[in-house]
Amino acid sequence: MKTLLGWMLVLLVGCSGPLVAANGPDAGSDLAVHAHWAVVGTQTTNAHRYNQSATVLSDGRVLVAGGEAWDLSASSSPGTGTVRAGAETFDPATRVWTPTGSLRIARGSHRATLLADGRVLVTGGENVPHSSWTALDSAEIYDPSNATWRLTTPMTRSRMNHAQVLLADGRVLVAGGTRGADRVPVVDEYLATVEVFDPATETWTTWASLSEIEPRADALRLGDGRVLITGLFHAEIYDPSIGSQPPPPPASPYSAPRPYQPQQEVTCGEPGVGHATGLETGSAHILSLQMSFVVDPTDPVNCRSLLGPPAVMTGPLASVALPNGLVLFTFGTRDASLLDPETGVFTSIAPRIYPRGRSHLLLLHDGRVLVTGGDDVPSEILEWR
């Protein structure tokens, strides 16, 4: 149930700002009139890149690490792609970016997860732009208490564009992704494998694989602790309590093995190209081929269909759930909309300042939203005035 406090966004303009309440059937429209985008950072800021990682730290700052960029000063046209190791933090209170050491290994198309103890785990990626044959198995940990990076135990498989999520018990699940096969000519190998990192021992354990391969996957933890995996080909709910266990042996040499199904397929709509957002109810919203629906973890076959968006939402698509229950979507090059997952109503808001590709939308501790990456342009922050 949404409380009055849950329907409020407290956003600061300078050092103070108004409370903006959004409640009732016109919540999206009421909030849209207050939406305002502002530039944070300059063209020389190291955080301007694509295929980087971006993580909200426990103290409210944002850590951006690695990624790729185009060197337009190169003599060749249109320039030369580079992979970066630099990292920096963004302080929402001061709007200042500060260098914070460098990754031990330059990487792009990697993944990062905030651990329960406040450190950040970074895994995989590529170290040559758009080259899956350079996919990495290495992993490293950032400690914000002393702003240092160090390598930890590598994954069992090299991978990029994989799914990664913090489990309820503090471990980190990694699934799917792409790697270049070890043969000539190099051929992309799409992965279904799953492995889990234990921060206490800094070791990896192989779990049951996904039901299908996924070259580019995303993951979010549902309210019941299971994990929703969405990718280019399909969507499924993965149960860690089953996937972590070995398949049971047959009851006897003459009988079939007992059922062993860590995965439960999400069959509503066209989830193979869907984009999922976790909701405060513990369920998830999926936008798929312009269809909009809510997945209930207890019944992933019978999803609750919503109204479709009023206009075609062209990619790249990103989303984040707001504290008031609405979902913010950015799509195309500059467009943005608010969705009320209870009514299915999409409401357009002010467009972003810069066009950008696949970027990160991050909900800050004060309710504002930071969009960073996706192109060599400054980051932007969404405020409500």
Identify the pLDDT of residue 10.
Answer: 38
Averaged over 298-323, what is the pLDDT? 81
Give the ranges where 249-325 is alpha helix by DSSP (H): none
pTM above 0.85, yes or no: yes
DSSP letter at 108?
A: B
- Residue 29 is inside which H or E element, if any? helix 27-32
Distance CA 225, CA 239 (A): 8
Write out pLDDT tens, residues 345-363.
Answer: 899 999 999 998 889 999 9
Q: Is the pLDDT reported for residue 72 higher than 80? A: no
Total residue count of the chain as it appears in this document: 385
The encoded tokens of residue 26 equal 């016109």
Identify the pLDDT of residue 365.
Answer: 95
Averaged over 196-222, what is the pLDDT? 96
Q: Is the pLDDT reported for residue 323 higher than 80? A: yes
pLDDT, averaged across the chain: 85
The encoded tokens of residue 323 equal 């504290």
DSSP letter at 305?
A: E
Whether 354 and 377 have beta carbons less than 8 Å apart is answered as yes
Neighbours of 163 (CB within 10 A): 25
Averaged over 199-204, what is the pLDDT? 98
Identify the pLDDT of residue 132.
Answer: 81
Q: Partners of 288 in the beta sheet?
A: 291
Write out pLDDT tens, residues 4-38.
Answer: 333 333 333 333 333 344 555 566 778 888 899 99
**Strand, helix or coil for residue 273:** helix
N-to-C CA span, the chain: 26
Q: Which residue has the higher pLDDT, 130 or 319?
A: 319
- Give phi and psi for 143, each to the nearest 5: -110, 110
Averaged over 271-288, what is the pLDDT? 82
Task: Please give the share of the chain, as a percent, with pLDDT higher than 90.
Answer: 56
Closest CA to 210 of 131, 170, 264: 264
Identify the pLDDT of residue 18.
Answer: 34
Among 18-27, 183-192, 302-311, the least confident range:
18-27
Q: Which residue has the higher pLDDT, 283 or 19?
A: 283
Identify the pLDDT of residue 77.
Answer: 55
What is the full DSSP assignment across 327-368?
EEEEETTTEEEEEETTTTEEEE-PPPSS--SS-EEEE-TTS-
Q: Is the pLDDT reported for residue 288 higher than 50? A: yes
Per-residue three-class SS string for 150-184: EEECCCCCCCECCEEEECCCCCEEEECCEEECCCC
Whether 124 and 159 have beta carbons less than 8 Å apart is answered as yes
Averaged over 192-201, what is the pLDDT? 97
Distance CA 218, CA 214 (A): 9
Whether 40 and 379 have beta carbons less than 8 Å apart is answered as yes
Whether 137 and 154 have beta carbons less than 8 Å apart is answered as yes
Q: Is the pLDDT reported for residue 69 higher than 60? A: yes
Whether 139 and 152 have beta carbons less than 8 Å apart is answered as yes
Q: Is the pLDDT reported for residue 183 higher than 90? A: no
Among 101-110, 133-142, 312-321, the least confident range:
312-321
Q: Which residue has the higher pLDDT, 225 or 252?
A: 225
- Give phi and psi for 148, each to the nearest 5: -125, 150
DSSP letter at 353?
A: S
